[in-house]
């Protein structure tokens, strides 16, 4: 959401803008009113240049000093927030100001808390900390949802918050989810006439939608919405969005196979995108330009474009799902050319790029791991090392270390991938059984001749055990050998001996196995029980301790109860 939209709320709170001429003497500002300081701040801030913002900062710092002196925590909080706006391009400083607002606001103003989380999301996103950005936007969204009314202002806040989340989904590779969010945002914008009320943000949403369709390989839809955006930019005379949409038209032409047309469009609008200083737009444009040149078999020019992408990424430290393709292309090109040094260089950067993406998104990690041809990748690296060893001994040792780390990383990923498959197989085997078979130990704890219990008593107790099992008497978590023997009207020694012989296990193991078999059955048959905590489920089936239940469950089924419940939920 645009910063100036947020600021408008605060300027209304302070009763508007006023004079433009500044008095830069800090001492002379001490006795000025809050309104005077705020009016001067607003006048200079609205000029949107560094010199004016420096002057705006003078007035806001005076405002902050006055508020602290008067112990006015509300005005102190607003002062810090507006200082973060002035320093929005200074990541660390802006975050410090935002954290200061939290301290002084203390949750008193919910609207301000929403703005703070939104501001944090903005700062994290533009510094490529996608996990933190998403967390902040989700927290901001909760404030909107809890106070939600069918009003244009709240709808607008809701819309732009969803749009911001959509951008993160697109960056980390959750492209289907990103498309869903952008479609919803676009329709909401039309429903509330935001294409006229908030033109700039409407154009951003429109661009996000067409781009999401492009990445999802729905080219006709991408072309349709991109043309819609172009028409809107002409109507509203918005040059920046017009240039961006025209460049996107080049991406669409590439996907349609019109490589020359794509190049003409992208090269024409490249100078305009450079002026916008957008790393995301430039890396995407250079990537598509390089791919277009490669399709036309002009590899010298293609390589120049791909290396420009590499330069921007390494400088800006911006790692996105779309531009990871750049390193795959470079690695495979130099592999085909037999260029060992560059092959290894871009192979390492490819692995490094993916490892950073892993840390941002679990979904992307799983997708990449399943596509990796691990044996071939390891074999390729080992081959490269052997061929380079004779060229430079020192370099070879460094490379060996790098390759070893990469192999360990891949093997660890492969280990967890394989382990997940084993658990999945065990789960499938488990749910296919009508009941969990109670395995009886072959080597009975006591021999028949040592049972020393009259035959009539044995038969009586076995009948009572059958009834006990049928009526799920084992679910009583206070049950003991002594208490059960009293219910059976026998002595505990007889009961223990009969269970040991006929069930092949001691009384404790016998109860545990019955309870686990019952847990497996009811969790499969009763979806509501899956919503309980593991501790609550353990208590339901007769265990008094969650750890004892978890260990017993794993010992009998070879999977953990949490995994079993998770897989059951996926099937519903």
Q: Which residues of 350-378 are buried (b: 16+ CB within 10 A; e: fewer)?
A: bbebbbebbebbeebbeebbeeeeeeebb
Asked if 73 and 104 count as a contact pair (C-beta separation under 8 A), the reply is: yes
Q: In percent, how much of the chain has pLDDT > 90?
A: 28
Asked if 513 and 543 count as a contact pair (C-beta separation under 8 A), the reply is: no
End-to-end CA distance of the chain: 38
Averaged confidence pLDDT in the chain:
80
pLDDT bin (cut points 50, 70, 90) of residue 546 is very high
The pLDDT value given to residue 4? 45
Q: Is 215 helix (H, G, I), strand (E, B) or coil?
A: helix
Asked if 271 and 234 count as a contact pair (C-beta separation under 8 A), the reply is: no
Asked if 32 and 58 count as a contact pair (C-beta separation under 8 A), the reply is: no
Q: Tens of pLDDT along 474-522?
A: 999 999 999 999 999 999 888 998 999 888 899 999 999 999 999 999 9
pLDDT bin (cut points 50, 70, 90) of residue 160 is confident
The pLDDT value given to residue 202? 84
Q: Which CATH number fits domain 450-571: 3.30.2350.10, 1.10.10.60, 3.30.43.10, 3.40.1130.10?
A: 1.10.10.60
Asked if 83 and 57 count as a contact pair (C-beta separation under 8 A), the reply is: yes
* DSSP state for residue 443 in the 8-state scheme: S
The pLDDT value given to residue 107? 75
pLDDT bin (cut points 50, 70, 90) of residue 350 is confident
Rounded to an integer, the average pLDDT of 399-418 is 70
What Å distances lie between residue 126 and 82, 91, 96, 171, 454, CA to CA?
19, 9, 16, 11, 81
The pLDDT value given to residue 369? 41
pLDDT bin (cut points 50, 70, 90) of residue 24 is very low
Alpha-carbon span 393 to 514, nearest angstrom: 64
Rounded to an integer, the average pLDDT of 409-427 is 71
134-138, 331-335, 377-381, 426-430: the lowest-pLDDT one: 377-381
The pLDDT value given to residue 359? 62
The pLDDT value given to residue 47? 73
The pLDDT value given to residue 485? 92
The pLDDT value given to residue 19? 39
Whether residue 358 is predicted with pLDDT greater than 70 in this model: the reply is: no
Asked if 238 and 230 count as a contact pair (C-beta separation under 8 A), the reply is: no
The pLDDT value given to residue 390? 57
Whether residue 60 is predicted with pLDDT greater than 70 in this model: the reply is: yes
Q: Tens of pLDDT along 420-470?
A: 777 777 777 777 765 665 555 444 555 554 677 888 888 999 999 999 999
148-152, 372-376, 436-440: the lowest-pLDDT one: 372-376
What Å distances lie between residue 216 and 206, 213, 350, CA to CA?
16, 5, 22
Q: Tens of pLDDT along 245-297?
A: 998 999 999 999 999 999 999 999 888 888 877 787 889 999 999 999 999 99
pTM above 0.75, yes or no: no
Alpha-carbon span 417 to 369, nearest angstrom: 8
70-84, 215-229, 372-386, 496-510: the lowest-pLDDT one: 372-386
Rounded to an integer, the average pLDDT of 374-402 is 60
DSSP states along 451-514: T---HHHHHHHHHHHHHHHHTTGGG-TT--HHHHHHHTTS-HHHHHHHHHHHHSS-HHHHHHHH
Q: Which two tokens stand for residue 254?
A: 């590439």
Rounded to an integer, the average pLDDT of 109-121 is 83
Q: In percent, how much of the chain has pLDDT > 70?
A: 81
């Amino acid at each position: 959401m645009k910063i100036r939209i947020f600021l408008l709320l605060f300027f209304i709170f302070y009763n508007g803008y006023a004079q433009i001429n500044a008095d830069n003497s800090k001492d002379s500002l001490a006795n000025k009113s809050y309104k005077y300081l705020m009016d001067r701040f607003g006048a200079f801030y609205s000029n949107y240049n560094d010199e004016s913002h420096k002057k705006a900062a003078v007035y806001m710092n005076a405002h902050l000093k006055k508020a602290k002196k008067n112990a006015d925590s509300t005005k102190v909080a607003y002062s810090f927030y507006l200082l973060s706006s002035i320093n929005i391009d200074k990541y660390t400083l802006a975050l410090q100001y935002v954290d200061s607002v939290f301290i002084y606001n203390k949750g008193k103003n919910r609207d301000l808390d929403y703005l703070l989380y939104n501001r944090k999301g903005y700062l994290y996103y533009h510094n490529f900390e996608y996990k933190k950005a998403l967390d902040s936007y989700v927290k901001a969204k909760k404030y909107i949802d809890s106070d939600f009314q069918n009003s244009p202002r709240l709808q607008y806040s809701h819309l732009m918050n969803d749009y911001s989340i959509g951008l993160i989904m697109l960056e980390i590779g959750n492209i289907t989810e990103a498309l869903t969010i952008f479609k919803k945002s676009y329709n909401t914008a039309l429903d509330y006439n935001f294409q006229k009320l908030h033109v700039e943000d409407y154009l951003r949403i429109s661009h996000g939608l067409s781009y999401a369709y492009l990445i999802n390989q729905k080219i006709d839809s991408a072309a349709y919405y991109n043309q819609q955006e172009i028409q809107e930019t002409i109507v509203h005379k918005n040059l920046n969005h017009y240039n961006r949409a025209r460049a996107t038209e080049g991406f669409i032409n590439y996907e349609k196979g019109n490589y020359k047309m794509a190049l003409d469009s992208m090269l024409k609008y490249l100078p305009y995108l450079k002026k916008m200083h957008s790393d995301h737009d430039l890396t995407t444009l250079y990537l598509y330009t390089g791919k277009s040149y490669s399709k036309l078999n002009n590899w010298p020019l293609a390589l120049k474009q791909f290396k420009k992408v590499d330069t921007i990424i390494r400088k800006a430290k911006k790692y996105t799902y779309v531009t990871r393709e750049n390193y795959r292309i470079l690695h495979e090109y130099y592999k085909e050319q037999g260029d060992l040094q560059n092959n290894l260089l871009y192979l390492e950067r490819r692995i490094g790029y993916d490892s950073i993406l892993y840390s941002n998104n679990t979904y992307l990690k799983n997708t990449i791991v399943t596509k990796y041809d691990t044996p071939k990748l390891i074999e390729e690296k080992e081959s490269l090392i052997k061929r380079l060893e004779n060229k430079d001994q020192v370099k070879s040792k460094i490379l060996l270390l790098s390759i070893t780390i990469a192999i360990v990383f891949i093997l660890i990923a492969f280990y967890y991938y394989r382990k997940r498959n084993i658990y999945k197989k065990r789960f499938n085997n488990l749910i296919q059984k009508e009941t969990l078979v109670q395995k009886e130990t072959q080597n009975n704890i006591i021999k028949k001749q040592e049972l020393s219990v009259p035959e009539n008593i044995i038969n009586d107790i076995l009948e009572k055990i059958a009834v006990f099992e049928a009526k799920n008497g084992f679910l009583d978590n206070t049950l003991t050998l002594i208490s059960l023997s009293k219910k059976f009207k026998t002595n505990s020694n007889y009961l223990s001996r009969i269970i040991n012989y006929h069930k092949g296990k001691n009384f404790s193991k016998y109860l545990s196995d019955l309870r686990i078999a019952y847990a497996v059955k009811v969790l499969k048959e009763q979806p509501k029980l899956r919503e309980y905590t593991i501790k609550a489920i353990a208590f339901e089936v007769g265990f008094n301790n969650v750890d004892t239940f978890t260990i017993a469950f794993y010992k009998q089924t070879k999977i953990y109860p949490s995994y079993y419940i998770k897989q059951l939920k996926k099937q519903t």
